[in-house]
Amino acid sequence: MASAFSRYIIKRSAYTLFSLFGLSVLVFVLARVLPGDPARIVAGPQAPEEVVERIRQQLNLDKPIPVQYILWLKSVFHGDLGYSIYTRHSVTLDVIKYLPNSLELIIVAAIIQVVGAIILGVASGWWAYRWPDNIVRAFAYIGISVPAFVWAIILQLVFGWWLGWFPVQGMFSEGVTPPPRITGFHLLDSLITGNFVAFKDELWHIFLPALALALGPMAQDARIIRAGMVDNAGKDFIALAKSHGLPDRLIMFKYLFKPSVIPAVTVMGMDIAALLGNAFLVEIIYNWPGFSAYGIAAMLRKDLNAIVAVVLVIGVIYAVANIIVDILVAYLDPRIRYLERGE
Amino acid sequence: MVEEPPLIEAKDIYVGYKTYRGVMKVLNGVSFYINEGEKIGFIGEAGGGKTTLMKTILRILPPNATNVRGQVIYRGKLDLMRISEKEMKRIRRRGLSMIFQDPTSALNPVFKVGEQLMDIIKYSRLEEGIKLSKGELKEEALRLLEEVKLPDPQRVFDSYPFQLSGGMRQRVVIAMALVSARELLIADEPTTNLDVTIQDQILRLINEIVEKRKLSVILISHALGAVRKMTNRTYVLYAGDIVETAESNELFTNPLHPYTKALLEAAPKLTGEGIGKGIPGRIPDYVNPPSGCRFHPRCEYARERCKREKPPLVEVKKGHWVACWLYVKR
Ligand SMILES: Nc1ncnc2c1ncn2[C@@H]1O[C@H](COP(=O)(O)OP(=O)(O)OP(=O)(O)O)[C@@H](O)[C@H]1O
Ligand code: SF4
Ligand SMILES: [Mg+2]
């Protein structure tokens, strides 16, 4: 029976590959048919037409789009996403350089999001319609309606400028030596090299932007967990648990929590994947040296290979998040693990 | 001989449910008692408030229950409605148990049967000062699964509820109830959601257990024949009111209240199968319940007074009580 589940995961992965392929075609074509001539941008507005034409040929932009795509795909299979027409660097290397900074921010945000959502959701659901719930619901309402970049500005103003509890921007304070690059994830690298000063310093810097990113999805996830808790609290399996005199905390954190959190896991996973998109503006507000600034620059400059790479990386992160969520849900919910879904 | 106080005596219970339409006023001043060693029955249509009443006794009402009032006197001394949650937990762990109506919704869908059962055993035994090891808990769980005649206890132990049939699930729920059933077993429609073919087996199993352990029993059932056979006294609950009660034999041979008469007539005869013809009309809306006698919109004998005043429960014959203006002599 369990093999039915692995078949399901394999099938899901195949779908995912297929949709990533579709996504790549879409961005590839879109990036090329939208107005703006990359060759002209590279050459500069004053350059004579022959130069522009030569650049166009160098970039293969004179060939039909399907041919361009096949050439591109071939190099992708060799791990090469092409060159940025702007920085003249390999896009692959750019991704490797900038992405970990963003992932770090997102991972910290995700932890805040999930832990916060669980605490708030459980408290709110357990004390439904009482004061803890009222506070959480009010917070959730605000949390959901305020976008991440607005949180970013508010938190920066209040805790950065006014109260001065946290740094206003950047990744490390002046005078703190960043760790050497091992994994590219600075927090991890600091730990590996035993550089706790850098570790603490970065945590201190990362907190506000991560919190800004986390608040919205945290509020949404807390609401879903709360709804599950409230819904299940009225079910007979909870009445049965109570009828046997099981302790409240066992009911709350085991028998009520688990069935209530399962529906939220899917949403939480998608929210985490969406953090990368939301991170664009937040990274700029906090001057965080991440992927987003790179992505925005690529869009503005019509840096074709960079645009496609940025979109694909986001697509891959979504896909990976999806698969992780599926596995996690199946791990938590035996009904899914044992019964083949779909067919 | 000094008369023992009843095991449970519920007095004037009111319970409502908050809904988006307003408050449903379900239990409307219900009183009943059960003596030690006694077997009583509750009958009445679906939605009459039987389950609500039982959950009130055990204090396991859902969170949207509201305006809960009345007394539940336990052995003449404790009022279960007023003791602390901690004390109530001890009583649940030591003496009172309930078999739930729908075994599918009564078992937690995401935990294995064995795990759920072991937790129940663990806290029940802790109450007696016995701390069982994991192995002992499992042994005890398997023993209970065997006691309820599940064919392959080890397999059931390792299964999730959705992997079991309805009848097996109900046996699991019964096994759970057995953990702490020392005094009272509440069987809330233990067979309604089961296949007809196994209804008998389950009832027989419950009967056997009750005899073996000398338990007091509250049996709620639509299987009127079973209620008559298995209980000494029966209460008829209609729309949150006790409308009639008497010794079971008396009640089933000589029903007095118009609702009871209709109910017994509507029931499939003991030999027949399927559902009876039903009583015309339906249980009233609890948000705006009928004034006076809650049965009056459906009663062919309804008079002016029935709409105005609620009839009191009066003893018409020895031990036979009826709440109906027809039986109030003036
Ligand atoms: N949690 C709840 N919220 C709102 N209404 C409820 C809730 N639980 C029960 N009710 C309603 O209260 C009324 C009484 O329900 P209850 O389950 O006590 O009846 P019952 O006599 O046990 O019926 P059945 O024979 O179907 O089991 C019904 O109208 C039911 O819909
Ligand atoms: S009190 Fe009136 S309405 Fe109610 S059952 Fe008796 S006769 Fe019918
Ligand atoms: Mg019921």
* Domain assignment of residue A218, given as a range: 99-300
Tell me if A157 is assigned to some domain.
yes
Range name among A285-289, B103-107, B136-140, B314-318 with the lowest pLDDT average: A285-289
What pLDDT shows up at residue B272?
A: 42
- Give the end-to-end CA distance of chain B in Å, rounded to a whole number: 37
The number of helix segments (H) and strand segments (E) in chain B equals 12, 12
| Inter-chain touch B123–A243, beta carbons under 8 Å | no
B328 pocket-lining for ligand 2 (C-beta < 6 Å)? no
Angle subtended at Cα B57 by Cα B95 and Cα B227, rounded to the nearest 5 degrees: 85
Question: Does the beta carbon of B105 sit less than 6 angstroms from any atom of ligand 1?
Answer: no
Size of interface A-B (CB pairs under 8 A): 93
Max mean pLDDT among A36-40, A44-48, A263-267, B287-291 falls in B287-291
Give tens-digit pLDDT for A200-209. Answer: 878 788 888 8
A31–chain B nearest CA distance, Å: 47
Q: Is residue A45 part of a domain?
A: no
Read off the pLDDT of residues B83-117 as tens digits, 9 standing for 90 and up.
999 999 999 988 899 999 999 999 999 999 999 99
Other residues' Cβ atoms within 10 Å of the Cβ of residue B329: 5
- The answer to whether residue A165 is domain-embedded is yes
DSSP A132-181: HHHHHHHHHHHHHHS-HHHHHHHHIIIIIIIS--S-SS-SS-TTPPPPP-
* A172 contacts chain B (CB < 8 A): no
| A85 in a structural domain | no
- Domain presence at residue A150: yes
* Domain containing residue A268: CATH number: 1.10.3720
pLDDT at B180 over 80: yes
Rg (CA), chain A: 24
CB-hemisphere CA count at 13 Å for A312? Answer: 23
Residue A296 lies in a domain: yes
What would the two tokens of residue A285 be? 């507000």
Look at residue A343 and tell me if it is in a domain.
no
Q: Is the CB of B295 under 6 A from ligand 2?
A: yes
Q: DSSP string of A66-135?
A: HHHHHHHHHHHHTT---B-TTT-SBHHHHHHHHHHHHHHHHHHHHHHHHHHHHHHHHHHHHTTTSHHHHH
Q: Which residues surround ligand 3, an ion (CB under 5 A)?
A: B 50-51, 101
Q: ipTM of this complex > 0.90?
A: yes
Backbone angles phi, psi at B275, to 5 degrees: -100, 145
* pLDDT single digits (tens) A75-126: 777 777 777 777 777 888 888 888 888 888 888 999 999 999 999 999 888 8
> Would A219 be classed as within a structural domain?
yes
What percentage of chain A reaches a pLDDT higher than 90? 16
Residues B40-62: what's their mean pLDDT? 94
Report how many domains make up chain A. Answer: 1
CA of B50 to the centre of ligand 3 (A): 5
